[in-house]
Amino acid sequence: MSDRDKTIWVHHAHGLRIVADFQISEGQAVRCDGEVHRSRAGDVVLRKVSAKRLPIPTRGEWNVRNSGGISVALGHYGTLLHSYCGSAALIPPDVVDVENAEILVSRGKSISTTRFNHTILHAFIPQILALRDEVVLHSTSVIIDGRCYLFAGDSGMGKSTLAAGFARLGHTIFSEDIARLEFAHQRRPVAFPSYPGVRLRGNSFLLPADLRTNEVGRFGLPKFRVNAETSIAQELPTPVHAIFFLRLGTTLRPKIVRLSPMQAIKPYLKASFLLAFPKATRARIAFAQTVKLASAIPAFSLSYKRSAPHFGELLETLVESAKRV
């Protein structure tokens, strides 16, 4: 089959285009024929292949083993990302310098299409963008009164729950899990929208009663997508007004503490996608990136005790606190 006969899917996210020979359900896809599609500088180009097409790393080539569910191998072939679910992505060498180089992705055995898509968008894409010198954070971004606020933290810290709550109040959710930032010429970096909707675990108190369950599910990851009706891909990037690093607290009333740039460096490191870099250069890149972020964005520690009956009050307090920043 010639390139002209192929079906190409163009997905819009992070202010970029993710171009693939398959559809990614979360990515607001547009279908076009191969003869119509034209690649652009900055596109992330994906091609799905059999796992047999990907290299098998030697023991010494593994750079990272199962950190956050991702293992990374480095070799003459480039960078190989391997997910806990068995899916993988091969990034060619010099990905920063090779425009529109194809990234090969393979689907793990017995993995659903939804899980495969999730792995691509929320694990592989951030690592790919980081290798291209992009700034990417594990963070929710919310627009409140025209200002963008980031809520960063590890999985399970409540980013998606807060995002769903803010959406119920009518605020725009720019990103629910992955936020790409760009410094450009602004004093503060701007955030780009990512994928529509918010993913919630089955036991979330924000789900309708008929969907709620105590079963964790395979891999214990979110399975329900809510508030996905609004397309945000074409919205303009927005300057980041502040970032809140989430922590579990002991009081119902949220505790918000301003962090100095030095105090913000460590949580920025935890929120960054830097695993795909060689160990020899990772520390230098991480330090330079996080110092720049800490100097540009006011940072706060946000801790609170989760309580379904008090969730509405929590959101109102956070909105008022954000406006005063």
Residue 100 has pLDDT above 50, yes or no: yes
User: How far is 227 from 211, CA to CA, in rounded Å?
Assistant: 15
Q: Quick check: helix, strand or coil at residue 98?
A: coil
Q: DSSP secondary structure string, 204-229? A: -TTS-TTT--S---GGG---EEES--
More confident: 271 or 40: 271
Q: Pairing between strand 147-152 and 299-304?
A: unpaired
Contact 80, 92 (CB under 8 A): no
Strands 16-20 and 78-83: unpaired
In the chain, pLDDT over 70 holds for what percent of residues?
86
Pair 246, 254: CB distance under 8 Å:
no
Confidence band, pLDDT 50/70/90 cuts, at residue 1: very low
Interatomic CA distance for residues 136 and 268, integer angstroms: 10
DSSP 272: B
Tokens 């609170």 sit on residue: 304
pLDDT of residue 80: 96
105-160 per-position pLDDT tens digit? 999 998 888 889 889 999 999 999 999 889 999 999 999 988 999 999 887 788 88
Reported confidence tier of residue 170, pLDDT bands at 50, 70, 90: confident
- Cα–Cα distance, 127 to 134 (Å, whole number): 9
Of 310, 315, 298, nearest to 258 by C-alpha is: 298
Write down the domain spans for the chain.
3-131, 135-324
Q: In the chain, which ranges are continuous DSSP H helix?
A: 113-119, 125-131, 159-168, 261-271, 279-296, 311-324
Extract the tokens encoding 58.
């030697």
Q: Rounded to the nearest 5 degrees, what angle is found at the Cα of 21, between the Cα atoms of 10 and 222?
A: 75
State whether CATH 3.30.930.10 applies to domain 135-324. no
CA distances from 24 to 19, 31, 106, 210 (A): 10, 11, 13, 27
Residue with tokens 């992955």: 178
SS3 category, 177: coil
Nearest to 318 by CA among 194, 145, 198: 145
pLDDT band at 24 (very low <50, low <70, confident <90, very high): confident
Give the mean pLDDT of 75-85: 93
On whether the CB atoms of residues 43 and 10 are closer than 8 A, the answer is no
Range of weakest confidence among 144-148, 199-203, 217-221, 305-309: 217-221
